[in-house]
Amino acid sequence: MGGSNDQTKKTVVHFFSAIALVGCQKTSEPVVDFSSENVISYRYHGYDLLPTLPAKVRDMAQRHCEQFGKNAVYKGGKPVSMLTTEEIHDFTCEVGKVQVQNG
């Protein structure tokens, strides 16, 4: 019986250790992960365990796409791993008027 209790304690300790490590990570400035005239991706350490998209990154993507006479359209973001706040956000550069979709 003691073995199962010891395993539970170890699991709890590992869980809280991982949370503490993630909590110690700091945000970082966005850097270009990949770019072309059709797409751009930014990588940075975010603000939370869930992906976040600061306005600064949207502005950076729009300036990039404007070089090609296009508009930046956000396609989504994803965490690099579950043990870090680092994330990647992707934009496509599209010609034409950008329509905002709710929901």
Q: What is the pLDDT of residues 7-49, one digit of tens each?
A: 787 776 655 555 544 444 556 788 999 999 999 999 998 766 6
On whether residue 48 sits in a domain, the answer given is yes
On whether residue 4 sits in a domain, the answer given is no
**pLDDT, the chain, mean:** 79
Residues 57 and 65: their CA atoms lie apart, in Å, by: 12
On whether residue 19 sits in a domain, the answer given is no
On whether residue 32 sits in a domain, the answer given is yes
What is the mean pLDDT of the segment spanning 84-100? 83
pLDDT tens for residues 49-79?
666 788 899 999 999 999 999 999 999 988 8
On whether residue 99 sits in a domain, the answer given is no
Which residues contact residue 22 at a Cβ distance below 8 angstroms, ignoring those fewer than 6 apart? Answer: 49, 83, 84, 85
Domains: count for the chain: 1
In 11-70, DSSP assigns E strands to 31-35, 39-45
Instruction: Provide the β-strand partners of residue 64.
Output: none
On whether residue 11 sits in a domain, the answer given is no
On whether residue 18 sits in a domain, the answer given is no
